[in-house]
Amino acid sequence: MIALLAKQDICPMLETALRGQTEDQRHPGTRRATQRQRRLTQSDVIQLAQDYMAGSTVNQLANKYNVHRTTVLAHLEQQHVSRRRITRRLTDADVQDAARIYEAGNSLKTTARRFQVDAETLRREFARAGIQTRPRRGWMNPSQARQSPPTTVS
């Protein structure tokens, strides 16, 4: 019977099945995309809500309970836990101090590290305060792009 099936296209799959190997075992570099859902018990959900109210962040809870952050948010909403308001990390005085350091020649990233915030947070605070930032290395400022003479091909 195997000889008869060998003439058809299913022969490689049949041989693999007879050897007891799956498709993934024949090609160890490939992996099936499977989503594993972690379902929290009711006591876990209650504890998650208590942890949030005690000060844990959404990302910390997602890591602790091995779930996605949107899952944490959904459980908090189901438990009628109000979200904390996002507070500014830098005061106006901090932004002005950071601007002086940045204008002295430090990079946005270096300046942000000094204030223990992300560079994007500092850039956003600078924009809010009307403080100009330098273009990133290798990036052309839009005003410079307009002033550049057109290149001619000979």
Predicted confidence (pLDDT) at residue 2 exceeds the cutoff of 70: no
- pLDDT tens digits, one per residue of 9-33: 666 665 666 676 555 555 566 666 6
DSSP secondary structure, 39-104, as one string: PPPHHHHHHHHHHHHTT--HHHHHHHHTS-HHHHHHHHHHTTPPPPPPPPSS-HHHHHHHHHHHHT
* Per-residue pLDDT tens over the stretch 43-94: 999 999 999 999 999 999 999 999 999 999 999 999 999 998 877 889 999 9
Q: What is the pTM of this model?
A: 0.45
CA distance 99 to 111: 9
Res. 38 pLDDT band, cuts 50 70 90: confident
- Rounded CA separation 107/95 (Å): 15
The DSSP-derived string for 55-72 is T--HHHHHHHHTS-HHHH
Contact (CB, 8 A) for 90 and 121: yes
Q: Is the pLDDT of residue 147 over 70?
A: no
pLDDT of residue 86: 75
In sign, the C-alpha dihedral spanning 90, 92, 93, 95 is positive
91-120: pLDDT as tens digits: 999 999 999 999 999 999 999 999 999 999
- Distance in angstroms (rounded) separating the CA atoms of residues 21 and 15: 9
**Single-letter amino acid, residue 127:** A
